[in-house]
Structure 1
Amino acid sequence: MEDNISQLPDALLLRILSLLPAKDVVATLVLSKRWQPLWSLVPKLVYDDSYQNIEYGRFSCFVYISLIFHEAPVLESLRFILGGNSGAVDVGAWTRTAVIRCVRELIIEMDCSSSTTPVILPKSLYTGCSILVALKLKNVILADVSSLVSFPSLKTLSFVSVKYPNDEFFKRLLSNCPVLEDLVVERNPPGDNVTIFNIIVPSLKSLFLRNSQNSVVDDSHGFVIDAPSLECFDIVDYNGGFCVFENNMPNIVKANVDVTHSHSGKILSCITSVKRLNLCLRTAKDEYPVGSILCYLLYLEICTCETEWLNLLLCLLKDSPKLRVLKLGQRHTLQDIDPRPCWIEPKSVPECLSSSLETLEWVEYNGGEEEEKELATFILRSGKCLKKVTISSNSTDLNKKLEMLKDLSLSFRRSPTCQLVFR
């Protein structure tokens, strides 16, 4: 088997070696003379200090030596997965080496749960990575710099639980990423030193925001976004605060909005071009953006855990004339103290029900709740284009489930082209 593998061309062997941890890559030099020069030419290196429970001193020495003797003409990817024993000095030196080697993708993931020394990345990171295409950081500190931050080739940027010098530094860093397309920001307040994340990036296409820590954040914290090329927007924020779009987002086709903002409806008014939308909002009926017609929306998923979900759904059905797929389900734990929404049948049938809706999926349907039964009856009775209806009950009572099925069957529009599945 070894001889057969050795017959493969160098390019294929290097691709295989790129899938292995760095320690295993270097170990291949003892296989035969054929393998000896290959390890130093592997374009992707992964250093994991937890691999095979290696003692940290030996791990650190191994990283230094292997980086010194590595000779690949282009270092495509360099990834460090480091625990609490990793030294800040080591990480800084390895990062400087990555800068010198003109790495194209740099990933540093720190586990700070048992670390007492914070890892501050060297200032050379901001000025020497002219061909860096992807930068992904987790649990590190970004040092302030007086010199100009420059990432002329950076297209992907991910910050997870990163500590910044201040608001202005974050804004300045993004302004010097002229071709940035994908941005991930996962906050760990209140220790990140940023009150407002100003995301002003004309080239940005995908934005992923997370602020889900259970900490108290007032209305002064949030995100301000100006990204006219944005196509995919994903935000989860359970800490209140705010998210403001400076301008409409005319190119957004996919969005996930799961927030507890007091004026969350304003987000919807700026993403009217969306085709696929997932929503969980604590939105009162009078907060819904009146006149925001979602004329391109084809797929809608709404979380049923919040009190006002029913009012929100009816508004969206009315304003989504081309909707084809509707999915209802409970993403989060329902609070028993919350009052359930009251069903008021619309005076007119939404256009999508009579002309475009083809698929209805309802997860954790509770037909014992009057408002849910009334809504299901209304959709089944009014949906002239329905092709498949799938309803899953959360009840374990077989008699109750049978009763639900009977109620649904009575209201189901008889059609040879529509299938009703009840689970």
Structure 2
Amino acid sequence: MDRISHLPEHLLLKILSFLPTTKDVVATMVLSKRWQFLWMLVPRLVYDDSHRNITKESFSRFVDRSLLLHEAPVLDSLQFRLGWKSSDVDNIGVWARTVARRHVRELVIEIDRSSCTAPSIIPKSLYTVSGMLVTLRLNNMVLVNDVSSPVSFPSLKKLSLDNIMYPGGDESVNRLLSNCPVLEDLHVDRSIDDNVTVFTVRVPSLKILYTLDIKDSYGGEMLVIDAPSLETLTIDDSSGVCVVKSEMPNIVTAEFDFYDSHSWKILSSITPVKDLCLCLSFSKRAYPSGCVFHRLVNFKLCRCKALWLNLLMCVLRDSTKLRSLQLYQKNGYQADQPNPIWSELSCLVPECLLTSLETLEWTNYEGTKEEKEVVEFILRNGRCLKKVTISSKPTVSGKKLEMIKELALSFRRSPICQLVFD
């Protein structure tokens, strides 16, 4: 310990910042005189009430005292992880005011919802620490619904809203996001009862958007995106409607997992994408005509949704520079569906098979007639193929796997193509 104690102060503070909680940091004050006051300057404070041997009252006293004694002029991170011992979170408002002048850069408030008897309302005083905030993460809380309370996050670049309720409905969301002028990264995990019908993301500066669980379209719920600077877009596990209001010329990565066929229009707004992952229920009539992915090089397609093969051929047809194709099953099974007539789908060879496709990776391969036809088609026409990797399901017998190997090898056209079976 003496050798560590002789390190420069900034290194010691760095070491202390890696400790799990502020309680652990404060405990180091007994090590020696050198360490007695170091904890007061640590730029990262993490308050977690999950310790077994602590009551709500003792936890609150510890937070009160340590915040009053803490002297770091800038707080890189201030985190509250609260459960049943302090689920009313009334004191967060007081604690926020205590550090209002500390130039807090990251603020995290996570509530254990399973242990709360009532939702925890975000205190108005939260906005008093917002001037220098760069990152804000809120979990299981209620957004304050008071138009008289100023909302301004002039420096906020990362915002995470996990299971948040909005008493003011759609307008609450609009008001919050419109006051984040430099926001670049938005993560939204919707709550089933969040009181929002149309979740509108109108943020010109936004570069990354992740949304989870847009609700059932039968109730009219939808996501509206107006973010022309987006580079990464992920819509996961959604049954709602997605509407895009602006083109996305800078989009690089997109991943979609939803059921509503009307949301297919979103593909027309992401044609510059380079990496695309789709797990979608397909409808021929919904697929946008004239949609050309002129920069797409990596494409992943899930086979657990209906008519995946039709979708595969549409995207291959519209992606002239595709280099990598991956076929997988997100839910571990292939959707029951009427098989398309392969002769109709394969009458025209997509250009990417002839000029650019280099790798194919197929997981959970079962060797069905439909799958064999697709593999044969790609191997027969893939003039630039360098590597094909096929991973079978554990249930596929060794004899059947040998047949698959023989079939694939018999259609290999290029000696540089490496076939790998897992």
Match of 2:105? Answer: 104
Match of 1:305? Answer: 304
* Local SS of the residue matching 1:88: coil
Q: How does 1:5-404 map to 2 (within 5 A)?
A: 5-20=4-19, 21-51=21-51, 53-86=53-86, 87-126=88-127, 128-147=129-148, 148-165=150-167, 166-189=169-192, 191-211=193-213, 218-238=218-238, 240-334=239-333, 337-344=336-343, 345-367=345-367, 369-394=368-393, 395-404=395-404
Q: Give the TM-score normalised by the residue count of structure 2.
A: 0.95
Distance 2:271 2:233 in 1: 12
Residue identity matched to 1:173: L
Distance 1:216 1:206 in 2: 24
Residue identity matched to 1:90: N
Residue identity matched to 2:164: V
Distance 1:267 1:62 in 2: 50
Bigger mean CA offset, 48-57 vs 253-262: 48-57
Distance 1:295 1:98 in 2: 50
* Local SS of the residue matching 1:158: strand
CA contact (8 A) 1:201 1:227 kept: yes
Bigger mean CA offset, 79-88 vs 401-410: 79-88
CA contact (8 A) 1:135 1:157 kept: yes
Question: How far is the alpha carbon of 1:313 from its aligned partner?
Answer: 0.5
CA contact (8 A) 1:355 1:384 kept: yes
Distance 1:53 1:335 in 2: 49
CA contact (8 A) 1:306 1:334 kept: no
* Local SS of the residue matching 1:278: strand
CA contact (8 A) 2:383 2:414 kept: no
Question: How far is the alpha carbon of 1:5 from its aligned partner?
Answer: 0.7
Bigger mean CA offset, 160-169 vs 327-336: 327-336
Question: How far is the alpha carbon of 1:337 from its aligned partner?
Answer: 4.8
Distance 1:280 1:259 in 2: 7
Question: How far is the alpha carbon of 1:88 from its aligned partner?
Answer: 2.5
CA contact (8 A) 2:217 2:260 kept: no
Aligned residues: 416
* Local SS of the residue matching 1:8: coil
CA contact (8 A) 1:106 1:136 kept: yes
CA contact (8 A) 1:127 1:151 kept: no
Question: How far is the alpha carbon of 1:135 from its aligned partner?
Answer: 0.5
Bigger mean CA offset, 54-63 vs 103-112: 54-63
Residue identity matched to 1:92: G
Residue identity matched to 2:224: V
Question: How far is the alpha carbon of 1:223 from its aligned partner?
Answer: 0.7
Distance 1:335 1:304 in 2: 6
Kindly provide the CA deviation profile for residues 118-145 of structure 1, in whole angstroms up to 9, marking residues without a partner as x: 2111112235511111100000111112
Question: How far is the alpha carbon of 1:403 from its aligned partner?
Answer: 1.2
CA contact (8 A) 2:161 2:188 kept: yes
* Local SS of the residue matching 2:314: helix
In the superposition, relative to structure 1, how do residues 337 and 316 fare at CA in structure 2: closer, same or farther (>3 Å)? closer
* Local SS of the residue matching 2:68: helix
Distance 1:53 1:370 in 2: 62
The CA RMSD measured in Å over matched residues stands at 1.6
Distance 1:263 1:412 in 2: 40
CA contact (8 A) 1:390 1:421 kept: yes
Q: Give the TM-score normalised by the residue count of structure 1.
A: 0.94
Bigger mean CA offset, 40-49 vs 118-127: 118-127
* Local SS of the residue matching 1:352: helix
CA contact (8 A) 1:76 1:104 kept: yes
CA contact (8 A) 2:281 2:306 kept: yes
In the superposition, relative to structure 1, how do residues 51 and 19 fare at CA in structure 2: closer, same or farther (>3 Å)? farther
Distance 1:398 1:237 in 2: 35
In the superposition, relative to structure 1, how do residues 296 and 36 fare at CA in structure 2: closer, same or farther (>3 Å)? same
Question: How far is the alpha carbon of 1:347 from its aligned partner?
Answer: 2.3
Distance 1:273 1:25 in 2: 48
Gaps of 5+ in 2: none
Identity of aligned residues (%): 54
Residue identity matched to 1:205: K
Distance 2:80 2:340 in 1: 49
Question: How far is the alpha carbon of 1:252 from its aligned partner?
Answer: 0.4
